[in-house]
Amino acid sequence: MLRILSVSGEVQLTIELASFFETDAAGSYPVRALKQHLQGLCRKPRFRQRLAFLDDGELLNDNGEHTLRPGEVQLVLLNFSPTSELQIRELQHAAESGLTQSVESILQRPQDPDLNLGRPPLLAASAEGHLQVVRLLLEADADKNLSTNDGATPLFIAAQRGHLEVMRLLLEAKADKDKAKHNGTTPLIVAAQEGHFEAVGFLLEAKADTDQSTHEGITPLCFAVEAGHLEGVRLLLNARADVDTLTDTGSTPLTFVAEHGHLEVARLLLKAQADANKAVINGANDGATPLFHAAAEGQLEMVRLLLEANTDKDKATNDGVTPLFVAADEGHLDVVRLLLEGKADKDKAMNDGTTPCSIAVRHGHMQVAHLLQGMGYTFGRHADLVVAGSGKTTNDKTTNDGSSLSSVSTGSWRMGHTLGRHADLVAACKRKARNDVSSSSTVSRGSSGRQ
C-alpha cells in the first residue's frame, strides 16, 4: 500500500499499488499518473505538487521511469515562483514554437501559465495548432478563456485557423464556446466566415449560439451565405439558425446571397422557407427586396430563381424604385428582359414620376429603353418613343403639365421629349444620335441585341 500524507501528517489518500498500475498508471509515467489523480483531491495541477518518500526523502520525478513502491509519501503544494519578463517571453516562445519539453520544464518551476505580454501562451499554442503544448497548458490549469487585447480567445483563434483537434481539447475543457471578440465576432462566426465547416460542426455540436451576432447584427449564417460557403450554410440551417435574421442595416441572409449570386446557397435558403419578399428596413435602399438587389447587381440567374419562387416582382423601395427600374437604371438588358417576361409592371414609376424607360434613356442605355418601348411602353406624360420607319411621325404637342414636346431623330429611331426638368433625356438622345450617325441599321421592335 502507498499512503499519501499532507505536510501536517494527515492521510490524504491510500492506494493499492497493483490496482493503480493496471488502471490509472497504465501507459503513463507512474508519478505523473499519481499526481494527476491527486489533482482531483488537492485542486492543484501536478506542476505545483511535490512528492517525497518519508523514509529516505527521495523526491519523485513526474517523468521518472522508476516504479512507485509501498510506503508513505508526503505531498507538498507549491505557490508559483517569481517570474521575470524574460521567463514570461520564454514560455510564450516555447508555446508558439511547439517546444513541448521546454514548456514542461518551465511549468515545473512552477510558473504561472497565464503570465503574458499580450499573447497568452495557451492562445499562442492554439493559434499554431500545437496540440501537445495545448494539452500541457490546460493540464497546468491555464485560463482557457484568457484573451488578447482585441478579445480573441484560444478557441476563437483555433476556430479561425481550423485547428480541429485543438478545438476539441478546448471544448472538452469547457472553454466558452460563445465568447466573442470586442467587435462581437464569435468562434462560430469566424469559422463560418472562413469556411471551416468541420469547425462549424464542432461548435454546433457544443451548442454554440447560432444567432449570436457581431455588433453590426451580422450572424454566422449571414457570413456563410455572403462567402458562398454551401456546407456551412447547410449546417447552420440544420441547427435552426434564423433564416430571416436582420442585420443592423436591415439586410437578411437572402439579401446577401442575392447580391453575390450564390445560386445553390439561395436555393437552400428558399427551401428553408426564407422570406423572399423581406425588404431592407433602413439604409440607402430602404424597402429593397432580395429581387431588387439581384436586379441591381445584374445577377440574371438569381433573378430567375427568385421569380420562380413567386417573389413580388414589383415591390418597390420607399422611393418607389422597383427591380425593373433599378435594372433599367444600371443597363442590365437581360435582367430587364427577364423581368418583363415575368410580367413586371413596365409603367411603374418612382415617387417623383421617373419611369424605367426614362431613366434608361437618361443614362444612355438605349437598348434597354427600346426593349421597354418594344413591350408597348410609353414615356407617359413625359415623352413618346416610336420606332423610325414605322410611318408615324411625332408632332410638337403639349403634355398634361403644359410642357411642349419636340422630336429628336437618329438614323434608327425618333423620340419625342419634354423640355424643362426632363431636358436630360434630350441630351442623352443627342449623344445617341452622334454615336449612331454612321450606322444604317434599324433597331427592330422588341430587339434582344446587347449594347
What pLDDT, in 10s, does the model give residues 134-150? 999 999 999 999 999 99
Letter for the amino acid at 11? V
Please check whether residue 139 is in contact with residue 45, taking contact to mean a CB–CB distance below 8 angstroms. Answer: yes
Nearest in space to 170 (alpha carbons), one of 127, 132, 138: 138
Cross-sheet strand order for the sheet of 2-5: 11-15, 2-5, 71-77, 49-53
Torsion, Cα of 346, 347, 352, 354 (10° steps) = 60
| For residues 194-202, average pLDDT | 95
What's the confidence (pLDDT) of residue 396?
Answer: 39
Query: Cα separation of 343 and 323, whole Å?
Result: 12
What's the confidence (pLDDT) of residue 151?
Answer: 96
Letter for the amino acid at 41? L
Task: Answer yes or no: is pLDDT of 358 > 90.
Answer: yes
The structure's pTM equals: 0.76
Range of 46-55, 69-78, 182-191, 386-395 with top mean pLDDT: 182-191
| For residues 160-186, average pLDDT | 97
What percentage of the chain has pLDDT greater than the value 90? 66
Give the 3-state secondary structure of residue 407: strand
What's the confidence (pLDDT) of residue 248?
Answer: 84
What's the confidence (pLDDT) of residue 284?
Answer: 57
Q: What does the mean pLDDT of the chain come to?
A: 83
Task: Answer yes or no: is pLDDT of 66 > 60.
Answer: yes
What's the confidence (pLDDT) of residue 300?
Answer: 97
Please check whether residue 261 is in contact with residue 270, taking contact to mean a CB–CB distance below 8 angstroms. Answer: no
Confidence of residue 370 (pLDDT cuts 50, 70, 90): very high
Lowest mean pLDDT across 29-43, 90-104, 198-212: 29-43
Task: Answer yes or no: is pLDDT of 24 > 60.
Answer: yes
What's the confidence (pLDDT) of residue 174?
Answer: 96
Could you count the other beta carbons within 10 Å of the beta carbon of residue 223?
26
Pairing of strands 49-53, 71-77: antiparallel
What's the confidence (pLDDT) of residue 376?
Answer: 53
The domain at 88-337 falls in which architecture? Answer: Alpha Horseshoe (1.25)
Phi, psi (deg, nearest 5) at residue 374: -65, -20
Lowest mean pLDDT across 70-74, 82-86, 330-334, 387-391: 387-391
Q: Which residue has the cell 422570406?
A: 275
Phi, psi (deg, nearest 5) at residue 72: -120, 135
Partners of 75 in beta bridges: 51
Pairing of strands 71-77, 405-409: unpaired
For the chain, give every domain's residue range: 2-77, 88-337, 353-451
What's the confidence (pLDDT) of residue 270?
Answer: 97
CATH number of 2-77: 3.10.20.90
Nearest in space to 38 (alpha carbons), one of 87, 85, 2, 86: 2
Lowest mean pLDDT across 34-48, 87-101, 364-378: 364-378
